Structure 1
Amino acid sequence: MLSTQSPPIQTRTLDNGLTVVVQPMPWLRTAAYTLWLPAGITTELVGLSESQLADPEYLACRDGLASLTCEMVQRGAGAYNSRQLVAAEDNLGIDSGNSAATSVAGYSARMPAESLLPAIELLADVVRRPHLPGNQFDDAKMILRQELAAFQDEPTQRLMRRLRERQYGPSLGRGGYASEASLEALSMDDVRQFYTDQYHAGGSVLAVAGNFDANQIFDSIEQSFGDWKSGKRPALPSPAPIDGNEHIELPSSQTHIGFSFDSIPYGSDDYFVMRAGIGILSDGMSSRLFDRVREQRGLCYSVWASTHTIGQHGAVFGYAGTTPARAQETLDVSLREIQHLADDLEQEELSRWKVRIESGLIMEQESAGSRASSLASDQYQLGRVIPTEELEAKIEAITLDQVASYFRQHGPRQFRIVTVGPEALQGGETLA
C-alpha cells in the first residue's frame, strides 16, 4: 500500500460541457495535461447515410480523417504560424503530442511546472483557433502516407488491426491509418468540416496533474475554454463481430498469431477480478504465457495478452510471434493456458500481480504525465475518477477464489484468430 494519501482530486464541469479534473502533486517540479475530445476515429462515420455506411469503398475514402485533422490543427494556431507555434512550445520546455483513438482525439503535454499556464493558453489556441492552412495540406497527407507505408511493412500491426476489426466489427473496430483511397479522396474541405463538427467542449475532458495551485488552474481554464462552443458527444457504433479465423498469407520465416475473445469493460463490477486473471497470464516475465509458452517450451519469441475497453464493450487481445514450424503448437498451448487458467491458480501468482500493480501506482505518483492521462481516462470512460486509495482497496480485496470462480464462469467460449505467415492454422472453435 502507498504510505501517504494522494492529494485530493477536484472536478468541475464548465457551462459548455467541458469537464475539468485536476490533481495537485506538489512534490513534483513538473506538470502535465491531457485533453480528450470526442473526435476520434469512429466519428469519421458520424452523419453518413445507411447506404454510405454499408459501402466499404466509401468508408475507405474516410480512413485517417481524424488523424489528418489532428495533424492539421497544429500547423499554426492563434497568433502563431506553424514554426512559431513549435518555437513557443520549445521555449517553454513543452513536450506535446496528439493522436486519434477510437472515440477520442487526444492532446497531451508535459512541461516544467512554471510553464503550465502558458501551455494551457497554447492548447486553447490549437484546438479552438487552428489556422488549418491549405498550403500545408499536402505535407500533412505525406506524413499519413509515410505512416501507412510503415504500417503496411509491419505484419504485427496489420494483424492486430484486422483482429480488432473482427472482434468489434468494421465500424467500432475501425483503424486510424489512412488508406490509398482516402489519401486520394480526402480534401481540405473534409478536414475543415470534421473540425467544425467534432471539435467542441461538449463531452470533452481536460485533466491536469503536477505542481500547481488548483484554483489558479481552474481560473485559467475557465478563461481559455469557458466560451468554447458546446456540442453532443457522438454515440459509438454498435459492435458487429466477425467470428472464426482468418489467415493473411505472407511468405516469411515467421508466423504472427493474434487471438481475441469477449470480456467485460473497464468499470464493470468484476473488472479487476478479470484483470487479475489476465495479469497472471501475461503481466511480467514470470507470467504463465511468458514462462510456460516461451521459456519452458521455447515455442515463440514473444507472447502476451491484454485487456481492452471501448465504451461499454470489452475484450482480451493476445499475440504470439514464432516460426511456421512451431506456430500451430504455439497457438494450441497459448489457448490451452487461457482456457485452463482456473485449474491450478496459486496464491503466489496473485500476490505477485498485486505487487506489480502497486508498483505501477507508486510510479504514477512520480509522473505528472501518467497521472493526467489516468485522470482523463477514468473521467471520460466512467464519468468519475477512481482515487488511488479506492483502487488499492479493490486490488487488495481480490482473492484467488474470486479469480478462479470468474474464469470458470466467464472464461472464453470462443476465440477469434488472425494469422499472418506462410500457412493457416487451426483452432479457436466454440468451446463446450
Structure 2
Amino acid sequence: MPATAAQKIHVHPLANGLTLVAEEMDWLESAAFALLLPAGCVHEQQNQAGLASLTCEMLQRGAGKRDSRQFIADLENLGADTSASVSVTHTTFGGSMPCESLPKVLGLYADVVRRPLLPEDQFEDAQLSCLQEVRAVEDDLGQRVMQELRRRYYGDPWGRSSQGKTETLQAVTHKDVKNYFNDRIRPNRGILSIAGKIDWPQVRDLVENLFGDWRPGLDNQLVETAPERGYHHIEHESSQTLVGLAIDGLSYANEDYFQLRGAIGALSDGMSSRLFTEVREKRGYVYSVYAMCNSLKDRGSVIAFAGTTPEHGQDTFDVTWGELQRMFAGIEQAELDRLKGRIKRSLIIQQESSPSRAGNIALDWYYLQHVRTKEELQSLIDNLTVKSINGWLEKHPPKNLTVVSLGPQPIKVDVK
C-alpha cells in the first residue's frame, strides 16, 4: 500500500439485512470476497450435528443453470481460488481472483446461496465426504483434545464442533438439508466483504442487483446449557500425552482485548516466547506447545495446548500451567517490543493481500460493526504499554480453568 494513500473503506447495508463492506486496494490486480452467513453449527438441532457442514457441501454441487462439473469449470476458467467452511457461528464462502473476474464470480455465488441445485443423486457422496472429515478428526488426537476442550469450556451450543458426529450425520436426510438451506441460508445478519482493485459504485450496484431481492429469514432463539468445566481425561493407548487448557478470556469486541492479546504474545508468539523457551527449549518436553486467544461475539477464552510423551505428561502440564499463571504476574518491555514488531509486520503483509483483507474486514464488521483502518490498528498496538498490560492482568487473574488430557493415563490437575 502506498505510504501516502488513505484507505478507501465503504459500507452499504442492504434492505434485507445483508451488509456489504469493501475496501479499494487500487495498487493490486486482484480482488477477493468473503460471504459470511449466520448459519453455523449453533443453529443445528442436537440430533442433527454436522447438518450445517453437509448443507455447505451440497450447496457447492451445482447452482443456477450449472451442474457441479460446470460450476467448478467456470470458477477455474475465471481464475478463482475459492473455499467454503462452517464455524460455530457462520457458513462462509470466499475466494480470490483477477479483479476483472469478480462480477462473474459473485454471480456464481449468488446462485450458490440463492438457487442451489442440491442434487439428490449426490447426497450420499456429500454425506460420505463429511463423514470422512469426522473420521479425520477422530484420527487427529490434537484436534480431538481441542474439540473436547472447547465443548467443555463453552458449553452447548457455543462449544460445538462443525464436523458433527458419525451417528447424527448418518441419520441426516436430503430433506433435512433442504430445510436447513431454506431456514438458515438467508441474508439477514449476513456480511459480504470485498477487497482489492474494485470500482466501488459498480460493486455496490452489482451486489444490490445480485442480492437485493433475496428474502430474509427468521432468527431463532438459541438455548444455552451450562459448561462442564474442570478436568477430563480421554484414555487412549498412545505414545503421546496431549493436554489442552482453557481459562477466561475476552471477545475481540471487548475494548481491552489487545491488553490480553499483548500478554498472550509474550507467552506464545515466536521462538522467543515463554512457552517455547521454558517448555520446549529448556526442558525438551514437547513437540508442540502454544497459547492463543479464542474469540466469540460476546465471550472469549485463552486456550493453550501441549503435546508430549506419557512420561513427561505431568511435568508438561505443570510447566505450561505455571507459565500461564506467571504471565498474570506481568510481562517485560523486551517481550512487548518483540510482539509489536511481529504484529506490525503482519499488518503490512495483510495490506498486500486481498484475501486477507477481505477476511479481516468481514470479521471487523461482525465483531465491531466497524472496519478498523491500518492506522487505527497501529494506534491500538502503539498504545500498548507494559504498565497498561500488567495493570489489566493484575485485575483479571485466571478463572475457570478447564483441562482436557489424552493419553494412556490421566494427570493430576487442581481446578479449584
**Which interval holds the TM-score relative to the shorter structure?**
over 0.9
Counterparts of 1:286-365 in structure 2 under 5 Å? Answer: 286-343=272-329, 345-365=331-351
1:170 to 149, 156, 177: 156
Match of 1:76 among 35, 49, 62: 62
Q: Which residue, 92, 102, 113 being the options, matches 1:127?
A: 113
Aligned counterpart, 2:11: 11
Residue 242 of structure 2 is aligned with which of 246, 251, 256?
Answer: 256
How far apart in 1 are the matches of 2:282 and 2:224? 41
TM-score normalised by structure 1 residue count: 0.94
2:66 alignment partner, SS class: coil
2: CA distance between counterparts of 1:136 and 1:68? 11
* Structure 1 residue 6, shift from structure 2 partner: 4.4
Q: Which runs of 5+ in 2 are unaligned?
A: none
Does residue 65 of the first structure (1) align with residue 63 of the second (2)? no
Within 5 A, what are the aligned runs for 1:9-408? 9-45=9-45, 59=46, 61-234=47-220, 237-238=223-224, 240-343=226-329, 345-408=331-394
Aligned-partner Cα distance in 2 for 1:195–1:346: 51
How well do the aligned residues superpose, as a CA RMSD in angstroms?
Answer: 1.5
1:231 Cα deviation (Å)? 2.6
Aligned 8 A contact 2:33 2:358 in 1: yes
Partner of 1:52: none
- State the distance in 1 between where 2:227 and 2:2 align: 41
SS, match of residue 177 in structure 1: coil
Q: In 2, distance between residues paired with 1:129 and 1:102? A: 24
Paired residue type of 2:412: Q
Matched letter for residue 63 of structure 2 = A
| TM-score (normalised: structure 2) | 0.97
Distance in 2 (alpha carbons) for counterparts of 1:158 and 1:283 = 23
Query: 1:205 & 1:370 partners in 2: Cα distance?
Result: 15
* In 1, Cα distance between equivalents of 2:4 and 2:267: 31
Rounded to whole Å, the distance in 2 between the matches of 1:284 and 1:215 is 42
- Cα distance change of structure 1 residues 321 and 6 upon mapping to structure 2, 3 Å threshold: farther
Aligned residue pairs, count: 416
Amino acid at match of 1:118: K
For residues 329 and 165 of structure 2, what CA distance do their matches in structure 1 show?
Answer: 45
**2:93 partner SS:** strand
Residues 342 and 403 in structure 1, CA contact (< 8 A), matched pair in contact too: no
Contact 2:186 2:216 in 1 (8 A): yes
CA deviation after TM superposition for structure 1 residue 344, in Å: 5.4
Contact persistence 1:203–1:232 (CA under 8 A): no
Structure 2: which amino acid aligns with 1:31?
Answer: A
Q: Render the CA deviation track for 1:55-87: whole Å, top value 9, x for unaligned.
A: xxxx2x311100000000111101101100000
Q: Distance in 1 between matches of 2:63 and 2:231?
A: 47
Deviation at 1:343, TM superposition (A): 3.3
1:358-402 deviation line (CA, Å, top 9, x unaligned) = 111101011100000001111112222122211110110011011
Q: How much identity, in percent, do the aligned residues show?
A: 42
- In 2, distance between residues paired with 1:26 and 1:347? 38
Q: Larger deviation: 229-238 or 80-89? A: 229-238
4+ residue runs over 6 A deviation? none
The answer to whether the 8 Å contact 1:414/1:428 transfers is: no
Kindly indicate whether the alpha-carbon contact (under 8 Å) linking 2:330 and 2:393 is maintained by their aligned counterparts in 1: no
Secondary structure of the structure 2 residue equivalent to 1:22: strand
Unaligned runs of 5+ in 1: 46-58
On the 8 A contact 1:38/1:233 being kept in 2, the answer is no
